[in-house]
Structure 1
């Protein structure tokens, strides 16, 4: 954060509105709220947009700490106090705006010297989440939380149906986007600085997709080959489906399934842009949809619904939207999906179960439970990507062979 930035009042008003929407309006997710805010304020320059974007995410990320420093709980009335606290924490001088009239600067600065009374405040997470992480990860939870509080970098995947990572690096350089290779990742490139790359010609031409390095590991882990019949069970908007299509070189068939038709419509648009032509979409309407596909696939990928605790770096608002009840519900959903979708794999085919969670109860323990109840499956390999170790999102994946 640049402490010498010149603050304009309309930036504070825009930031306040975005935070109010994200925290206090139901079903409003931070990324979409910010996207709309930036779209609405077309007159903001690139530095203004950068300031609002960074401040927005950092205030959401460090809400607990800011509440402690301000000695105020977040409410629609206290948003400006938290904004002021964040600015003071970053050594940015407050301007004499009406929004900051009720801010007691000295009191806040004095509280910066105090120790944090709890670890939940130190790591800026709800207390219930600290208890869950501690009970499942032991002493390691704080290392993971520290990593998850680091803002995510933007990582793209070169679409190998159209271009290599080396060629894409050159193409983007022409458009003034600097990206670097990531050691050990064939098609992943990391952006040097945040820019709106959706406006680039390279994106419009389908030369790349935004996809975290850990997420790219899932497609590789599935070990698909050209000509295979593959089912992506929880395809959503298709990030991993498109990667599978590229790995299969457009040969064979991918059946991308989801319960939400609108997500599959988005997938179709993305597939056209990517030049991925071996994808067929199918809405899961009822159990008959699955029944018709039993014993038919060489590979089934279950990118299961989960808590998303492995991707808090890029979705910090999830910390405040999640609750224990949701996690318990989603674990039951995972169990049912594993049970029902495992029937789609043919004999000697492979089932891949993946989540973007770091909780063993959603990962290893789910797979163990499944194997205990399904003797026709055996575990070939499992991979745990922990944010503190890999430096990217937290992911889990297990490869299961159907033996009969």
Structure 2
């Protein structure tokens, strides 16, 4: 590894930022790897794997550490806690790293960070774990299946309880398994820039592993690459990064040529660009989001795609835009949510989200839906979607919307569950505004408080 950069020190800094300061793991990892872009591919891969692996297996790692530490996890110094967690991840999941090297590097790092007096503690705990790792058993599944699942899959118990209200134990274990598996980068081929066959040849010539999806044409799974920015085809707009489940949004919306599509929470822009592609360069997609930063992400993806029928606009979806009333053929509303469908890619969500926040997010979704449904033309489509697995944000909000706004009818809805190595969890509901919706709006005007609940 590099003589000027200590990879394990970078891992420590990332974990501290995520676990102690509340930063988002995918953002910190990306920014760190961009900052140290000159590191060799092997070193960058090590940093990414240890960080992601530690976060994905945090409850399991703490369970192991607690068996050999006289100090409770929550009583440890944050630096020591993070060093132990990442080191135990190496010991348990990375056979290529000699246990002695893992222990020695952990001790050195503790000293470097000013914890010389604790080097014996770090050394003792890790070497004891290393000697006994194969003999550590998980909680007894028969005695307490919830405790077993929580530790085995590093999932908070309250989330398991939430899911088991709506899904069978077999189904829940299925998507827990999906969350714990390695997720490839899913991309959609840009048919205006290349063909699937040409793109596969180009990527494979650069040593990138490419796999086609068995069901969906134009979808590829990529692995064994350094960073997207170093792939020429990415910069040239030949493909768009987007999860297979997320791709269903534009397909469900099914915009026709010449349509006006309003995407109200669009960042980073994958759904907007997909819709623009489906319209074959005709019509207009207006991709909106709240902040200047999010709009810049959309603009960057538009730039790469080379599409002229999509534009990015900064706007707050909670504030009505009277100029857009009944102007959109399609409104796409992929709204802020708890993100419980993407735990395979953003493992730290499971530790930061709470039941109370899920309830608040469901309320925010209703607030936005109240506003953006006004933009749909009679006969037009409102597509509501989230990347979560939570009935409170999905099916219950769908039922609420139908009861509050009878001018819309539900054409279809689906909760997509995650599949290992293939797709995230995602929810979609397609509403159509009735052609005679004016009579419902009249009812609303007579009862102005009807939608305030």
Shared fold per TM-score greater than 0.5:
yes
Paired with 1:401 and 1:242, the residues of 2 have a C-alpha distance of: 22
| 1:323-342 deviation digits (Å, cap 9, x = unpaired) | 12211110001112222211
Q: 1:238 to 1:14 in 2, by over 3 A?
A: same
Paired with 1:165 and 1:110, the residues of 2 have a C-alpha distance of: 49
1:140-155 pair list within 5 angstroms? 140-155=171-186
Give secondary structure in 1 for the equivalent of 2:6: helix
Number of the residue aligned with 2:195 = 164
Paired with 1:36 and 1:262, the residues of 2 have a C-alpha distance of: 15
Please say which of residues 79-88 and 204-213 is displaced more in the overlay.
79-88
Q: 1:123 to 1:400 in 2, by over 3 A?
A: same
Q: 1:7 to 1:154 in 2, by over 3 A?
A: farther
Q: Does 1:16 align with 2:12?
A: yes
Question: Displacement of 1:262 after TM fit?
Answer: 2.5
2:100 to 90, 94, 102: 94
The answer on whether the counterparts of 1:305 and 1:330 sit within 8 Å (CA) in structure 2 is yes
Aligned-residue RMSD, C-alpha: 2.5
The number of residues matched between the two structures is 399
Q: Does 1:81 align with 2:84?
A: yes
Greater CA radius of gyration, 1 or 2? 2
Q: 1:182 to 1:287 in 2, by over 3 A?
A: closer
Question: Displacement of 1:129 after TM fit?
Answer: 2.1
The answer on whether the counterparts of 1:232 and 1:300 sit within 8 Å (CA) in structure 2 is yes
Please say which of residues 355-364 and 89-98 is displaced more in the overlay.
89-98
Number of the residue aligned with 1:314 = 345
Paired with 1:79 and 1:288, the residues of 2 have a C-alpha distance of: 42
Q: 1:345 to 1:10 in 2, by over 3 A?
A: same
Paired with 1:392 and 1:66, the residues of 2 have a C-alpha distance of: 26
Number of the residue aligned with 1:29 = 24
Question: Displacement of 1:397 after TM fit?
Answer: 0.8
2:40 to 36, 45, 50: 45
Question: Displacement of 1:110 after TM fit?
Answer: 3.4
Paired with 2:276 and 2:353, the residues of 1 have a C-alpha distance of: 33
Please say which of residues 148-157 and 70-79 is displaced more in the overlay.
70-79
| Structure 2: gaps spanning 5 or more residues | 67-71, 110-121, 141-146, 438-453
Question: Displacement of 1:234 after TM fit?
Answer: 1.0
Q: Does 1:132 align with 2:135?
A: no
Q: Does 1:273 align with 2:304?
A: yes
Moved over 3 A (4+): 5-9, 39-44, 107-112, 285-289, 388-391
| 1:256-284 deviation digits (Å, cap 9, x = unpaired) | 12222321132123212211111233332
Question: Displacement of 1:144 after TM fit?
Answer: 1.8
1:214 to 227, 245, 255: 245
| Structure 1: gaps spanning 5 or more residues | none
Question: Displacement of 1:66 after TM fit?
Answer: 0.3
TM-score (norm: length of structure 2):
0.82
Q: 1:257 to 1:153 in 2, by over 3 A?
A: same
Paired with 1:261 and 1:249, the residues of 2 have a C-alpha distance of: 28
Question: Displacement of 1:241 after TM fit?
Answer: 0.8
